[in-house]
Each structure stands twice: as structure tokens, then as C-alpha cells.
Amino acid sequence: MKVQITELDNHGDARGLSFSLPQDALNFLGSVADMHLASTMPGAIRGNHYHTRKREAIIFLPGAAWSLHWDEGPDAAIHHRAFAGRECVLVLISPGCSHAVRNDGSAPLWLVAHSSEAYDPSETVARKVI
């Protein structure tokens, strides 16, 4: 499977939530060459692109309802999955898989993206999945 979705276990305590990137996600990336934090406002969409080389491990933090939309190549079916925003979700995305996220809730959606390569706009290609 070129896109993998996993709910992360909460290792927090009375102080609050705590989540870690699992070893299989680190193995998938090989190394972390770039990381960014982004918010998506209610009703907004991020993505609708794929990467030619880099692998991504994206963590969606609990808070807002949202949906993930993706394909596994240019002639592949488009998939989608909705999330209530109660869980922390890890999505691993292979090169060539177009992906987008839509905030379906009423609060900002926060994500942290880890990439196997440094940001290079020339290897990000638009392909709409939502």
C-alpha cells in the first residue's frame, strides 16, 4: 500500500497528550530532511499534489474533524476517509501519490509533516484529488 493510515497511541498523562512517531514511520522515511507545522482553517483544503521523490509522514493532531483524499498514481482511483478529530493520526505517503486534506470541522486543523528530503518546489506536482 502506498498510503498508510494509523491512529497513534496517546502516551500522555494528567499533564496532557503525548504522541511519538513510531519506528516503522522513521524506517519509511529513512531520514528526516525537512519538517513543517501547518494549520488548515475550517473549510480549507491543503495539498492536491504529489511528490516525485520524497516520502512524507504527516501527523494530524486531535481537534477538528477532517478528511483525507488521495490516489496511488495518475490512473488510480481516488480514495477518501473522514476523521472525527478525536484521535491523532499518522499518514505515510509514498512518492507519486497525490494527497489533500480538508478541514471539515469548525476549529483549525493542525498537522506536522516530516519529509525524507528537503523542500524542493520542483518535485511537487499538482494533481487534484478533491
**34-48 confidence digits (pLDDT tens):** 999 999 999 999 999
Assess whether pLDDT exceeds 90 at residue 126: yes
Average pLDDT rounded to a whole number, residues 100-127: 98
For residue 75, what pLDDT band results from cuts at 50, 70 and 90?
Answer: very high
Q: Are 107 and 64 in contact (CB under 8 A)?
A: yes
Assess whether pLDDT exceeds 90 at residue 101: yes
Q: Closest by alpha carbon to 46, among 1, 113, 96?
A: 113
- pLDDT value of position 68: 98
- pLDDT value of position 1: 79
- Tally the domains of the chain: 1
Task: Determine the structural domain holding residue 67 and report its residue range.
Answer: 3-11+20-126
CATH number, domain with residue 87: 2.60.120.10
Task: Give Dmax (Cα) for the chain.
Answer: 48
